[in-house]
Amino acid sequence: MVDNLENKLKNKQQQLVGFKKVIPKIILIIILSNFILPYLPHPRIERVLNEKGYWGTVLWGTLIMSIVIPIVLYIRYLNIQDEISNIKREILKEKNK
C-alpha cells in the first residue's frame, strides 16, 4: 500500500514539474492568440472590433487574458500541491499503522 502511494506521489511531483515547464508555452500561445482573435466571426468580437479597432481588440484581449490566465494557472498549481500534500499525509498514516 505504501509503495502504491509513493508511486502516486512521484507521479504527482513529476506532473508538477511538467506543469511548470508548460507555463511559458501557454503564455506564448495566449499572446499569439490575441492577434488572431479579432479575425474570428463572433458577434461580440465583431462589436469590439468595430468599437475599438484591431489594436484595441488585441490590447483588450491581452488585458483580459493577463488577468484570467494567471489565476487559472495558480489555482491548478495549488490543486496539484494539495494532492501532493494529501498523498504525503496518507503515506504517513500508513507508516504509523
Q: How many CB atoms lie within 10 A of CB 5?
A: 18
Q: What is the pLDDT of residues 19-69, one digit of tens each?
A: 888 888 888 888 888 888 788 788 887 888 888 888 888 888 888 888 998
Q: How many CB atoms lie within 10 A of CB 34?
A: 19
Q: Tell me, what amino acid is at 6?
A: E
Spatial distance between the Cα atoms of 6 and 54, rounded to a whole number of angstroms:
52
Spatial distance between the Cα atoms of 75 and 73, rounded to a whole number of angstroms:
5
Q: Tell me, yes or no, if the pTM score tops 0.75.
A: no
Alpha helices in the chain (DSSP H): 2-36, 43-96
* Residues sharing a CB contact under 8 Å with residue 72, sequence separation 6 or more, in sequence order: none
Q: What is the pLDDT of residues 61-93, one digit of tens each?
A: 888 888 998 899 999 999 989 999 998 888 888
